């Protein structure tokens, strides 16, 4: 295998910018922002939506949700508020841990 040179150009910033590609990096309550979601069940990657971003905001008292569709597994709904049929998850920064059919699962959001 050969090698080569890689030249990177850019800026080093003192603070993280507020927006990236027009989407907020620091959501304000009650706002939910999901960027580049990856959904894993057990050891299997169900979806990897590189470049996907969704912003959900509460409107007219309705809970904010982000829908993610995994072919063959169905629709996954991520919400900040509990709703009927929901599975409780635990968020830790950009990772959401929960169970699907009793199997440990996680979403990186």
Residue 87's domain comprises: 19-46+56-108
Residue 6 pLDDT more than 70?
yes
Whether residue 80 lies inside any domain: the answer is: yes
Q: Which residues contact 106 (CB under 8 A, 6 or more apart)?
A: 39, 40, 95, 96, 97, 98
| Per-residue pLDDT tens over the stretch 30-46 | 777 777 888 888 888 88
Whether residue 10 lies inside any domain: the answer is: no
Residue 97 pLDDT more than 80?
yes
CA 40 to CA 48: how far, in whole Å?
Answer: 9
Whether residue 70 lies inside any domain: the answer is: yes
Whether residue 11 lies inside any domain: the answer is: no
Whether residue 78 lies inside any domain: the answer is: yes
Whether pTM exceeds 0.75 = no
The total number of structural domains in the chain stands at 1
Residue 87 pLDDT more than 80?
yes
């Amino acid at each position: 295998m050969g090698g080569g040179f890689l030249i990177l150009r850019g800026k080093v910033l003192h603070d993280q910018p507020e927006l990236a590609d027009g989407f907020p990096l620091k959501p304000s309550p009650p706002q939910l922002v999901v960027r580049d979601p990856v959904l894993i069940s057990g050891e299997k990657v169900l979806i990897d939506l590189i470049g996907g971003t969704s912003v959900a905001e509460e409107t007219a008292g309705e809970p904010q949700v982000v829908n993610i569709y995994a072919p063959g597994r169905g629709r996954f709904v991520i919400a900040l508020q509990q709703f009927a049929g929901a599975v409780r998850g635990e968020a830790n920064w950009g990772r959401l841990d929960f169970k699907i059919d009793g199997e440990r699962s996680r979403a990186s959001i």
